[in-house]
Chain A
Amino acid sequence: MASRRKRSGKLTSSAHGSSQGVPFTIDDATPNDLIYNPVIDGQVMVHGLVKRDHAAYPADMFRAPPADMPLIPESEWDARFEEAEREESSLEHLFNRVAQLHGLSVPYLHQNGHGYCWAYSTGNAVMLDRAARNQPYVRLNPHAVAAVIKGGRNEGGWCGLSAKFFREVGCPAEQFWKVHSRDLKQDTPEMRKNAGLHKTTEDWVDLKAPIYSANLTRAQLATLLLSNIPCMTDWDEWGHSVVAGRWFRVEKGVWSLRIMNSWLGWGDTGWGTINRRWTVDSALGIRATGIAPI
């Protein structure tokens, strides 16, 4: 993508779509007020990330140790990226096709004004995985997950907290929990039954175990994303948790994460490239979600 002009910090609904052929990017030149709490179409965007406490949430809380993960060598990254561009096979490509198929202008889940990004990163990861497997498009409601975990309070968290809930309970569809509601009266057996249809059933891969180096984390993220396995990523410097869907070549030799945000009206139909000197502070890879047709 070296020849492409960078489109940075245009945070309006008109920034939708990649028709301009310039991927939306946050980089070191993007002004902070366009990054941290931007106002998009009159609404202030919020985050909700609380840094992971490794003492409370140790690396082995998820079953799959990442050390065994086969890694795609860096020498293959260019060829795989170019193949994905040519065949339109990335998660971004295929999720946009799903949106087109269903006539959706906002196919991703957005958190509105609550600090529940840490639940939406997981919810959007599940949405991407379902799309990749050709499961029916169902709008999940991560507000239910966050509200139940936090007892209805508008509080922050980290992606692993919601991932644990997704594995143990699941997440209901929007028909079973009002959109952006924190009302716990909706925590009914019917809601739980529906949530169970969208459990994650496979192991999660914890990419940020302290015993592994940052380089390994980078190689693991690259491997998972080049394999179309979405990863929830927590960014302490951003105070935000989002799902990463692509290992993206910004220019020759420069790789970044292409993420799907949970902010309405942001980026290229929710997608943007994080080409800023930030580090991913916690990341989880999701391999396969609950197999439910509805």
Chain B
Amino acid sequence: MKRFLPGLILLCLTGQALAGIKVKADRTYQPYRKIVLRAEDVTGARASFLWDVVGDCDTVEAGDTLYIWAAPGKYRVTLTAIDFESKKVERARFAFTVEGKPPEPPIPPGPNPPDPPRPPTPGPVEKLSVLIVEESADRARLPASQQSILFGRTVRTWLNENCQDWPEGKIRDWGIFDRDSDLSGYSKTLQEMMNRKRNGLPWIVIHGDGKVVHEGLLPESVSKTMELLKKYKRAAREKGR
């Protein structure tokens, strides 16, 4: 752990270790809530890592690294190391504690977190809105193919053609926002979409016909994103207005 700010956050890693693997905790320049766990394979033999965290937090998994946005509390982590050559799978369980009071809570789940959406019924919808939630501090970690989803012509043109107007026709109702952005000046739809529980970042939420029809991790490519979006293209009657 480095660049520790006394009184703000305290990380204590305890637990069992895997042979040849060191787990390190770090706090990055989002000082209050963001923690990075990194598994370092000293032997170089293992091909893959899987992480599982128990606790009220947001996580993003990227191979040997796990990014966590956590409120103060205790968390349990399971790290699975897979060696594809020997087919050997090892697991280690450990815990960490975040102490100190962050300036604001993590993602507000609300007193009654909404249920996951009903199994979606893909098809044309009215009043389409799309929200993509990201952490811009980590944008450099996104593969180029996902940056193309966020900023390339294909997806943005489609969103401009298919999302509903808001506000007063100035823009279409879609946006790309940081995970802790204040959307109080935006449409209630976007606010509700922002306030939903997420399991990782970047996260895409699609809203149509008055409800969330899809939410999940951003697809890995422009073509897969378009495949997803086209299921919910604007209904014909709305298109005609």
Contact = CB atoms under 8 A, between A and B. Distances in A.
B241 interface: no
A56 interface: no
Interface stretch (A10-18, A41-49, A64-72, A258-266): A64-72
A27 interface: no
A82 to B, nearest CB: 9
A87 B140 contact: no
A101 B160 contact: yes
Interface stretch (A117-125, A157-165, A225-233, A272-280): A225-233
A109 B152 CA distance: 23
Interface in B138-176: 138-142, 144-145, 147-148, 150-154, 156, 159-160, 167, 170-172, 174-176
A58 B231 CA distance: 52
Contacts of B12: none
Contacts of B183: 291
A288 B180 CA distance: 11
Contacts, number: 113
A80 B141 CA distance: 12
Interface size of A as a range: 35 or more
B151 A228 contact: yes
Contact of B176 (A93, A132, A202): A132
A70 B144 contact: no
A227 B176 CA distance: 14
Interface string A69-87: 1111000100110011001
A133 B175 contact: yes
A64 B29 contact: yes
A287 interface: yes
A88 B153 contact: yes
A90 B151 contact: yes
A94 B170 CA distance: 17
A65 B3 contact: yes
B182 interface: yes
Interface string B161-203: 0000001001110111110011101100000000000000000
A37 interface: no
Contacts of B66: none
Interface string B218-241: 000010000000000000000000
Contacts of B172: 134
A112 interface: no
A187 B159 CA distance: 38
Nearest to A197: B185
B136 interface: yes
Interface in B77-95: none
Interface centre among B148, B151, B178 (most CB of A within 10 A): B151
A199 to B, nearest CB: 11
B3 A136 contact: no
A93 B136 contact: no
A38 B30 CA distance: 43
B156 A288 contact: no
A115 B135 CA distance: 35
Given A65-B29, A134-B176, A291-B183, A97 B136 contact: no
Contacts of B186: 291, 293
Interface of A: 63-65, 68-72, 76, 79-80, 83-84, 87-91, 93-94, 97, 101, 132-137, 197, 201-203, 223-224, 226-229, 287-288, 291-294
Closest 3 CB pairs of A and B: A87-B152, A89-B152, A89-B151
Interface of B: 3, 28-30, 136-142, 144-145, 147-148, 150-154, 156, 159-160, 167, 170-172, 174-178, 181-183, 185-186, 222
8 contacts: A79-B144, A83-B148, A84-B151, A88-B152, A133-B175, A197-B185, A203-B137, A227-B140
